[in-house]
Chain A
Amino acid sequence: MDRTIYREIKATPQVWQVAFLLGAMIVAALATVVYVEHHGHIVTGMTNQIVWGLPHVFAIFLIVAASGALNVASMASVFGKDHAKPLARLSGVLAIALLAGGLAVLVLDLGRPDRLLVAMTTYNFSSIFAWNVILYTGFMAIVAVYLFTQMARGAPALFVGPMGMLAFLWRLALTTGTGSIFGWLVARPGYDAAIMAPLFIAMSFSLGLAVFILVLSALCRLGDRPLGGLLMQKFARLLAIFAAVVLYFTAIQHLTSLYAAEHAGFERFILATGGIYTWLFWVGQVGLGGALPMLLIWHPSTARAPSTPILASLLVVLGGLAQLYVIVIGGQAYPMPLFPGHVVFSGFGDGTVAAYAPRWPELALGLGGVAVALLATGLGAKVLRILPTNLSDANLGSRG
C-alpha cells in the first residue's frame, strides 16, 4: 500500500460489548447526578473545606488530556512529522471527546447544573472560569473545523496547516487557562504560582499522548487493524520526554516553594508528613507515573517490548490522576493561615488538615465522564473515516 485509507470500524460483537459497558457507566453517572441533585452534595464526600473533590480530579484530567490528545495532529500539521499524519483525524476526534467528557463531569457536579445556560450567557470577564468557557467551546469549534479541512471531500489542503497551527495555539491557551484556575488563587499556599500554567501544559502533553496511545491500541484491536510496533515505540519515546518535562516542572514548583519560608509548612505537608498526599506524590506521581515509565521506555531490555508503550501509558495516566489528586485535594486540605505569627483553631477545622473521603457518587460521575469520552471517540471511529486500515510499520515506512 502506498497511501492511507480511512475506514469506519465494523460493529462486531466485541465493539457492541464495549459500547454497552461504556453506556452503562454513563447511565450510572446520570443516575448519581439525579441522586445528588435530589439530596444535595451532602451525599458526596465533599464539604465546605474540600469543596472540589474526586469529580474535579477526573474533570481536570480529561480536560488537560483533551488538549494533549491533539499532540499527534499538531505533530502532523504543525511540525510536519509524516508518521503522525495518518493519525491526525483520530487525534482531533479524541481531543473533542475528552473535552466533552471532562466538561460533562464539571457541569454535572455543579450545585445547580440546571443553570448551565446562565454560565453560558452571563460572564464575569475577571474570572478565568468565564474565559475557560470560551476557551473550551472555542477549542471544540476550531478542532471541528480542523477535522473538516482534513476530511471533507474536495476541501482544499492548504487550509489544513493554518487550522492545525490555530488549533495548536488555542490548545496552549486552553491549558494555560486550566492551570491558571489554580495559579491565580492567591489565598491558598498550595496554589498562587505562575508555574501552574506551564506545569499544566506539560501535563497535557504527557497525559494526552498517553491516552492517545491507549485509545489507538484499543481501537486497532477492536477494529482488527494492524498497528506497527515501531510507530508505538516512536510515540512511547516522545511520552518519556513529556513525562520527564512534567517531573522537571514539578521539581521547580516545589523547589521554588521550599525556598520561601512562608510555604515551608505546605511543602512539608506534601513532601513528608501529608499521609495519603505524600504517598500519592512520591509513589504515584513521581515513581509509578514518572520514573517507571521513563525507565521502561528508555531501558534497553524493555524498550522494544510490544507491551511497553501500553504499560508506560497506563502508568502515566495513573501518575496524572495521582498528581491532580495531590494538587486539587491536597491543596485544599492544608489549612490556610489567618493572621501572621499565629496558629488558628475553631470548630470549623481552622488550623487542621481537612479530611476527605470520596464517596461512590463522585467516583461514578468521574468514571461517567471517562465513559463519555471513550464512547464518543468510539462512535466517531464507527461513523467517521478517522482510523486508517493499515498502520503497520511496513505500510507507514512505504510512505517515507
Chain B
Amino acid sequence: MSCGKSRLRGKGADISRRDFLRSGAAVASATLAPGVTLIAFGGSPAEARASAGNRWGLLIDANRCDAGCSACVTACADENGWAGNGDPATDAQWIRKVTLRNTTTGHETSMPVMCQHCAEPPCVDVCPTGASFKRADGIVLVDKHICIGCRYCMMACPFKARSFVHEPVVNQKTHAPRGQGTVESCTLCVHRVDAGGTPACVEACAATGHGAIIFGDLKDPESEISRRLAEYPSAALRPDLDLNPGVRYSNL
C-alpha cells in the first residue's frame, strides 16, 4: 500500500505507463513467504491497477444504518488490525459511528464516518513530506515510510478521520502495515480493491442485512453507486468546504 506509489500519484497516468509499472513491479517484487512480499521499488502488481479512469467511492444510506449496529467498525478493525486499547481518545479510529441530531427538529441519524477520500484533500495539501497522497483512482493514503509523525494532516482533516499511532503496535496485518509514531486512516481497503474486491465495512454491512453502504466506481455511469447518486438526493459532509469527497450520504 505504501511503497512505491509515488510513481502513481499523477492524475494523468496512461495505460502504457501503468503497464510499464506493472511489469517493473513484478520484477522488483520477491515473495519471501506466503503473504509476505518484499517490494524493492516500483510497487506491487496490484497497486499498479490504480487508474485515473476510476474513482472509488462509497454511498452510505443513513436510513438503512442501524444506530445499535457497529458491524462496519468491527470489520474494519479486524481487517486492518487496529483494535483499540480501551481509550477512545488515543485509540485508532479508522471508522466510527456518529449520531447527527437536527438542531431544529431533533431527528437523529446514525451513520459511519471514515476518511472521505476527498478529491481536494486538505491532509494531502498540508503534509510537508508528501506522505499523505491521493492515488490516481482517488484513494487517499499515508505512505508510512515518509510520514514523520507531525500530525499536521490531523489538524487539517475536517472529519477527524485520521489517527496517530500512540503505542507500539503488534500483530499487524501484512496488507495493512502500521507504525508507532505515524498517522493512519481508512485505506478504503485498498488491498481488496486492487484485487478486485470491496472494502470490509461494505461486506460486513451487507452481511447484517442492512446494506447501508454501497461501494463502486464514481466515474462509471453504469455502476450501482453512480446510478443511485444520479437517481436520489445525496450529500457530502462539510459541504461548505467543497472538497468533493468520494464518500457520499443519502437520507441524512
Contacts and interface: CB of A to CB of B under 8 A. Distances in A.
- Name the prevailing secondary structure of the B interface residues: loop
Contact of B180 (A40, A187, A337, A348): A40
B93 interface: yes
B130 interface: yes
Interface string B113-156: 10000000010111111100000000000000011111110111
Given A111-B147, A347-B97, A350-B98, A187 B157 contact: yes
B163 interface: yes
Interface string B75-105: 0000000000000111111001111111110
B182 interface: yes
Given A111-B164, A342-B101, A345-B98, A336 B158 contact: yes
Interface string A331-352: 0100011111111111111100
Contacts of A127: 125-128, 152
B151 A52 contact: yes
A338 B164 contact: no
Interface in A35-55: 37, 39-42, 47-49, 51-52
B156 A185 contact: yes
B168 A40 contact: yes
A41 B125 CA distance: 25
Contacts of A261: none
Interface stretch (A87-95, A116-124, A250-258, A302-310): A116-124
Contacts of A39: 167-168
Contact of A111 (B104, B113, B183, B235): B183
Contacts of A348: 88-89, 93, 96, 98, 160
B160 A350 contact: yes
A162 B218 CA distance: 56
Contact of A338 (B93, B113, B149, B180): B113
Contacts of B158: 186-188, 336
Contacts, number: 178
Nearest to B98: A346
Interface stretch (B17-25, B52-60, B225-233, B237-245): B237-245
Interface residues of A, number: 51
Contact of A41 (B92, B166, B179): B166
A312 to B, nearest CB: 33
Contacts of B159: 338
A56 B181 CA distance: 16
A169 interface: no
Query: Which of A126, A133, A348 counts the most B-chain CB atoms under 10 A from its CB?
Result: A348
Nearest to B90: A47
Contacts of B240: 340
B165 interface: yes
B189 interface: no
Given A41-B164, A51-B155, A113-B149, 20 more contacts: A48-B91, A48-B154, A49-B160, A52-B151, A52-B155, A111-B149, A111-B182, A118-B129, A126-B124, A127-B127, A185-B156, A187-B122, A339-B100, A339-B237, A342-B101, A344-B99, A346-B98, A347-B97, A348-B93, A350-B96
Interface of B: 88-93, 96-104, 109, 113, 122, 124-130, 146-152, 154-160, 162-168, 179-183, 235, 237-241, 252
